[in-house]
């Protein structure tokens, strides 16, 4: 395989470090660009540095809001691919500080695109968008069916033709980035792909209450920390393991000429959907071998009763589908958390 140069913004985060490890194993040269603002990202950076030498892995501590610094880093790295993962990731944080959210997610994404466009041989840009760009989807009928909500009329989930409806500052800022990345392919011929991602989880995810709920529940259960369920616990999400996400990125890179300018929904799909506590809770109690107490609180504003990604476009154009079942992925994450307690204290 020919060696490639990859530049990953947010490269010390959960998805970023897993993606970097994947590229390093393949012998590619990786530049990580990260401001290390999220808790425990230093642990992920150290983990990566133990796997690769300085010639193969370069770390640049920087902020995507600082355009001159970002431009210099991209120019130095001369990547063939930029994977843009750096973001403000929580709806709750965006509501408290919408300006910071805008500057990181909207302006930061614009800066990444401009840094790419400024290169003599512009790299491709992959953008991690979110299912939150579809908003609350109040016009999509849902019904309560036993332990879970489900779509009344969408058995395969939500497709890319669902209208954008940007709720919350987070939805607006990520949606702005989503549309800019898509449009830079049309207007400037930049090779870009947008991935509207749904509930990514896996090893090296240090989940907290308002972001990364699968890991947050597992970490809390493993170490007897409190868990709050907002709503009735029957709201449904489709889980996509990070290794399956990486496989989708690889499939898009392999078909870049065909899929440049495209948007893909990427989630676990209907077969990997489960309700966040009515079904996930018993699985967790089985792994822990004991009951797990939780407290309930009111629904949070804008919380969708169900989100399931329709992956058929990705299946058709990328020849991709999730391979790791939710049950298997949850077992793996539980095993990783419980075998690395020193990372969580």
Question: Per-residue DSSP letters for 52-93?
Answer: S-TTTEEEEE--TT-HHHHHHHHHHH--SEEEE------HHH
Task: Report d(CA 127, CA 196) in Å as an integer.
Answer: 9
pLDDT reported for residue 301: 76
Task: Report d(CA 169, CA 135) in Å as an integer.
Answer: 11
Task: Report d(CA 170, CA 133) in Å as an integer.
Answer: 9
Does residue 43 belong to any structural domain of this protein? no
Query: How many domains, in total, are found in the chain?
Result: 1
pLDDT reported for residue 320: 98
Residues 142, 306: contact at Cβ < 8 Å?
Answer: yes
State the sign of the Cα–Cα–Cα–Cα dihedral 173, 241, 126, 32: positive
Does residue 32 belong to any structural domain of this protein? no
Does residue 58 belong to any structural domain of this protein? no
pLDDT reported for residue 345: 85
Residue tagged 């058709």 (tokens): 316
Q: What is the CATH number of the domain that holds 304?
A: 3.40.50.720
Q: What tens digit of pLDDT does each residue of 58-85 get?
A: 999 999 999 999 999 999 999 999 999 9
The values of phi and psi at residue 245, to 5°, are: -60, -45
Does residue 16 belong to any structural domain of this protein? no
Does residue 113 belong to any structural domain of this protein? yes
Does residue 255 belong to any structural domain of this protein? yes
Q: Could you tell me the residue range of the domain that residue 317 belongs to?
A: 87-344
Which helix (H) or strand (E) is 263 found in, with range? strand 262-266
Does residue 31 belong to any structural domain of this protein? no
Catalytic residues: 170
Does residue 60 belong to any structural domain of this protein? no
Q: Which residues does the chain have with pLDDT short of 50?
A: none
pLDDT reported for residue 1: 67
């Amino acid at each position: 395989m020919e060696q490639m140069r990859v530049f990953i913004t947010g490269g010390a985060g959960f998805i970023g470090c897993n993606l970097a490890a994947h590229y390093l194993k393949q012998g590619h040269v990786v530049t990580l660009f990260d401001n290390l603002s999220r808790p425990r990202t230093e642990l992920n950076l150290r983990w990566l540095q133990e796997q690769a030498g300085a010639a193969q892995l370069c770390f640049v501590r920087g902020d995507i809001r600082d355009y001159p610094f970002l431009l210099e880093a991209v120019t130095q790295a001369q990547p063939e691919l930029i994977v843009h993962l750096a973001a403000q990731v929580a709806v709750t944080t965006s509501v408290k500080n919408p300006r910071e959210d805008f500057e990181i997610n909207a302006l930061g994404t614009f800066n990444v695109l401009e840094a790419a466009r400024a290169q003599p041989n512009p790299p491709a840009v992959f953008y991690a968008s979110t299912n939150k760009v579809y908003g609350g989807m109040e016009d999509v009928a849902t019904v309560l069916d036993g332990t879970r909500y489900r779509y009344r009329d969408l058995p395969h989930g939500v497709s890319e033709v669902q209208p954008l409806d940007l709720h919350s500052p987070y939805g607006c800022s990520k949606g702005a980035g989503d549309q800019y990345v898509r449009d830079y392919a049309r207007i400037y011929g930049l090779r870009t792909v947008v991935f509207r991602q749904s509930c990514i989880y896996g090893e090296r995810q240090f989940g907290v209450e308002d972001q990364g709920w699968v890991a947050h529940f597992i970490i809390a259960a493993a170490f007897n920390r409190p868990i709050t369920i907002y709503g009735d616990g029957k709201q449904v999400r489709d889980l996509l393991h990070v290794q399956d996400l990486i496989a989708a990125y690889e499939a898009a890179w392999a078909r870049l000429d065909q899929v440049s300018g495209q948007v893909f929904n990427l989630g676990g799909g209907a077969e990997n959907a489960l309700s966040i506590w009515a079904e996930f809770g018993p699985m967790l109690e089985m792994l822990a071998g004991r009951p797990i107490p939780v407290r309930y609180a009111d629904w949070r504003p804008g919380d969708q009763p169900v989100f399931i990604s329709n992956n058929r476009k990705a299946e058709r154009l990328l020849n991709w589908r999730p391979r790791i079942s939710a049950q298997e992925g949850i077992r793996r994450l539980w095993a990783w958390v419980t075998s690395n307690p020193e990372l969580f204290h």
